[in-house]
Amino acid sequence: MDITSIGFLVFVGINLLIYWNLPGKYKWILLLLDSTVFYFLSATPYTVIYLIASIMSVYFATMYFKKTDLNKDLPYDIKNKKKKSVLIFAIILNVGILAVLQYSNLAINTFNYFAGFFGIYLNEVNWLAPLAISFYTLQILSYMLDCYWGIITPQTNVFKLALFTSYFPQMISGPISRYSEIGNQLYQPNKFEYKRVTSGLKRIAWGLLKKLAISNRLAVIVSEMWDNPETFSGVYVWIASLIFVFQLYTDFSGCMDIVLGVSECFGITLPENFKSPLFSRTIQEFWQRWHITLGGWLRDYIMNPLSKSDFMISFGSKCKKKFGKKKGKQIPVFLSMLVVWLLMGLWHGDSWKYILGEGLWFWFAIVCGKIFEPAFKKCKSKLHINDTKLYWKIFQVIRTIIIYTFGMIFFHASSLSDSLYRIGQTFVPATNISVLRQFISLLHTGDIGGTIGFLILALSFIMVFVVDLKAYINKNTFDKFFENHRITKWIAYYLIVTLIVMSMNIGQQEFLYAQF
């Protein structure tokens, strides 16, 4: 079920009417039923078996943690050993399901690359992964680890745990929520709040504007340029990739706006996943503002435990002795970051293009920034560059977008070899005036609605740009942006609805992160 479809909006509307008229103690049951229905309408039904297996394995593991902690006859060391054994088994089971269903072909293709020299080949498999497996696996692992560390109390009701795992707005593209963030909200007898519901509806409209008016139109332009690499070579590869960055942002953040808006209508606040990332001044800041919940998960459940492990502490001590205090301190951090970014790339897909473009490239960019930071400071001092000056901030933003755009060449390409081919095409001169005319004609093609479609795209983009800029400098948020004056508020509302309606005839594009 596409969340930009009329069917989905009707589904949400009907359930909101029922939800807000139910007694409080039954509300969470309706959400669980909604989530079940949504799953069966949006995914291949039998794949629910994998979801149930994950829920049950984590449920029994956390119940074992609780039972073991309450057993006063067991010594502390024995308790820890028993709990750790169960934890490891549950992690292997859940990560194993994810790995087999999502990454079998990565392993097969890697094997074939090397074994092919000896005439040995394996056929690819065609596993059908459950809806949002990458999202709910990380979410349920965080729940289990938090129970193991004693951060939260295990949920004793397996159906309530199932709701936390499969809450239907999150089953599209996240965000990856923690139990401590939304657990209680899901089960509370929430009371109807007019302001909260209307805020959610406005957030949904804002997401639809991003997706329908901007992303779907940009997708037409990018697709045409990307499908003709011989024509759109040289600088046009960069232009296509930059447009794809805006397409991806309005697609993914638009999806998040719809998801968070729908959830807000049910009285449940999900964590934010985007905070104006395209205004970031460094690539590290960018990833702190883009897909925030994934970055936070990798930091808290991979980076921090790895950095505090006995191995890494011992390795750090050896590095300090050999390379000095400063470098010796950096090397273990960079190594931990390498693991995190490899996993970041792997999470994005079953191809080496993701591992290289979404993982290693950004790790390399961040590490280089850290290593050469003293040299950069000296250069800025000699050139009398002031960090507070607008021109320098603009330069930093442009630099960050270029670094991210390079990584998106890998993301958008069909394979690693295609990525390298596209990068090679950037060095091909593109001075033919006819290519420029073709590019300009794309901006007015009938597939995006002609000249009117381009004006809708431009106006919608300006609106998103202004709102994001206001949010970045902490002067305003979307909710407050149109609340300054009553007249301008309603003009803005009608304008957004009009732009959405005029964009509904543009070809439907699946959410780019729905595949995860």
Quick check: is 81 in a domain? yes
Segment 489-513 shows an average pLDDT of 85
| Residue 126 located in a structural domain | yes
Domain count of the fold of the chain:
1
CA distances from 76 to 68, 146, 183, 461 (A): 10, 19, 29, 59
Residue 475 is predicted with a pLDDT of: 67
Q: What is the average per-residue pLDDT within 431-446? A: 84
In the predicted structure, residue 507 carries a pLDDT above the cut 80: no
pLDDT tens column, 292-301: 999 999 999 9
Instruction: State the average pLDDT over residues 259-272.
Output: 96
pLDDT on residue 208: 95
Q: Is residue 119 part of a domain?
A: yes
- Residue with the bigger pLDDT between 440 and 17: it is 17
Residue 384 C-beta-side C-alpha neighbours within 13 Å: 0
What span, in angstroms and rounded, lies between the C-alpha atoms of 240 and 234?
Answer: 10
- 108 part of a folded domain: yes
The encoded tokens of residue 53 equal 């297996």
Per residue in 353-367, pLDDT (tens digit) is 999 999 999 999 999
Beta bridge partners of 290: 274
Over range 462-475, report the average pLDDT: 89
Query: Alpha-carbon distance 489 to 482, whole Å?
Result: 5
Q: Band the pLDDT of 118: cuts 50, 70, 90.
A: confident
Average pLDDT over residues 481-495: 75
- For residue 182, being part of any structural domain is answered with yes
**Which of 258, 170, 247, 171 shows the shortest CA–CA distance to 411?**
247
> How many other CB atoms are there within 10 angstroms of residue 476's CB atom?
17
- pLDDT (mean) for 441-464: 91
Which alpha helices (DSSP H) does 188-234 contain, by range?
194-208, 216-226
Instruction: Tell me the pLDDT band of 199, cut-offs 50, 70 and 90.
Output: very high
- Average pLDDT on 135-164 reads 95
Residues 6+ apart with CB under 8 A from 237: 229, 409, 422, 423, 425, 426
pLDDT over 80 at 405, yes or no: yes
411 belongs to a structural domain = no
- Does the pLDDT at position 174 exceed 90? no
Q: Are 457 and 209 in contact (CB under 8 A)?
A: no
> How far is the C-alpha of 247 from the C-alpha of 241, rounded, in Å?
10
What is the reported pLDDT for 125?
A: 84
Asked whether the predicted pLDDT for residue 275 surpasses 80, the reply is yes
328 assigned to some structural domain: no
Average pLDDT, the chain: 91
Range of the domain at 158: 6-189
pLDDT at position 240 is 95
Confidence label for 254 from pLDDT (cuts 50, 70 and 90) = very high
Q: Would you say residue 283 lies in a domain?
A: no
Residue 386 region, left (φ>0) first, then alpha (ψ -120 to 50), else beta?
A: beta
Tell me what pLDDT residue 386 has. Answer: 87
pLDDT at 483: 63
Tell me the pLDDT band of 487, cut-offs 50, 70 and 90.
Answer: confident
Is the pLDDT confidence value at 482 over 70? no
More confident position, 353 or 476: 353
Q: How would residue 474 be classed by pLDDT, with cut points 50, 70 and 90? A: confident
DSSP per residue, 337-392: HHHHHHHHHHHH-SSHHHIIIIIIHHHHHHHHHHHTHHHHHHHHHHTT--TTSHHH
pLDDT band at 122 (very low <50, low <70, confident <90, very high): confident
Structure tokens at 144: 């289990």
**For 44-98, how does the pLDDT look when each residue is reduced to its tens digit (9 = 90+)?**
888 899 999 999 999 999 999 999 988 888 888 888 899 999 999 999 999 999 9
